[in-house]
Amino acid sequence: MPIVTVSLADRSYPIVIEPGSLSRVGAFMAEYARPHGVLVVSNPAIAEQYGELVLASLQAVGIPACMALVPPGDRAKSLRNAERLIDRAVAERLDRTSAVLALGGGVIGDLAGFVAAIYLRGVSFIQVPTSLLAQVDASVGGKTAVNHRAGKNLVGCFHQPRLVVIDPCVLETLPRREVGAGLAEMVKHGVILDASYFIRLESGMRRLRALDQDELTEAIAGSCALKASVVAADEREAGRRALLNYGHTFGHALETVTCYRRYKHGEAVALGMEMAAMLSQDLGLLSHEDALRQRELLRAAGLPVAVKRASHITVDGLLAAMEHDKKVVRGRLRFVLAKRIGAGFVADDIPVDAVRSVCRRFLESER
């Protein structure tokens, strides 16, 4: 059973990765957190599959719990839904010794974590991610947020979990697009952080897509370890952690102009990674060979690497969305680019004309 530790002094926490661990959530909480009450946040579909199992595991160790449901989809990340969850916490008389548990994907984790951060000035937070994307990315690192009409994740804060429990078995019920969305974040970790991990994904992608439990467990642990090392070095994204935004400046813009409806988050990140690779090549940083390796691995993961020409996405629309991105620093867009596989870096001095050129050529290209 791999256990990855996010090292943050007295706020360090374990990430437990084990097939079948969903039935032991209560036991892990008794060992690592021990709250006196728990608000489990989920959506109807996930709660129907796993809600009773998690509640029973909490009951078995004497931890009282209740469940609150929110609608599925990224638009559930709203201030209104956060307020509704707080209303439920108040009605259940949850106090500062209580915890909020996120049972679901990245949307649930972001929303539930935000509620845990602001309720009573902060209560314990537990992540039980049920999507691959959440398991390898969103559940690790303490970023919480809701969306604003001007852009994605504009209202939020950092609030680290006390515990993350990852059960790869739940991925067997995940739609194929959702699996691909998580694989995009894993590819991202390889591109920006670790060439050997990228090579491992190249050799193991077929088994990962087939949901081989041994391959998944080790690959998920590898991604979590890479992200944990970055978070430990730069918790609040003052420097190195910004590397994790590779593909996200372009990707978030694509999500914004399509109203979060056309692409899964990981699909948008995959497209954003392709645009970031184009920009890296234009600036003479990334070789054609490495850009092609990235593209082929994304394809092997079943991810899109181009948009349809009739998609009605415009260059001006993308640029306008980027201007509202939370990664804008002192009026300058911040991009994560790649020098080679395994070597990402942050740049905030990219000419707008270069970005415009990438957007135009990407929207016109067929790959």
- How many residues are given for the chain? 367
Catalytic residue among 162, 188, 265, 334: 265
Active site (annotated) includes residue 153? no
Is-catalytic flag, 121?
yes
* Catalytic residue from among 252, 326, 327, 334: 252
Annotated active-site residue in 200, 241, 293, 327? 241
CA 226, chain centre distance (Å):
14
Residues 138, 223: Cα–Cα separation, whole Å: 11
Which residue type, as a one-letter code, is found at position 294?
A: Q
Given 121, 261, 288, 330, which residue is catalytic? 121
Quote the CA–CA distance of 168 and 171 in Å, as a whole number.
6
- Is 237 a catalytic site residue? yes
Residue from 159, 189, 248, 295 carrying the catalytic annotation: 248
The active-site residue out of 143, 162, 295, 334 is 143
185 as an active site residue: the answer is yes
Annotated catalytic, 245?
Answer: yes
The one catalytic residue in 43, 81, 153, 245 is 245
| Residue whose pair of structure tokens reads 């899109």 in the numeric block | 304
Whether 96 is a known active-site residue: answer no
DSSP annotation of 307 reads: -
Active site residue 360: no
**Of the candidates 20, 22, 26, the residue with the CA atom closest to the CA atom of residue 46:** 22
Q: For the residues of 124-184, what is the DSSP string, one character each?
A: EEEEEE-SHHIIIIITSS-EEEEEETTEEEEEEEE---SEEEE-GGGGGGS-HHHHHHHHH
At position 149, the amino acid (one-letter code) is: R
Annotated catalytic residue: which of 24, 147, 178, 185? 185
Catalytic: 265?
yes
Q: Which residues are catalytic?
A: 121, 143, 185, 227, 237, 241, 245, 248, 252, 265
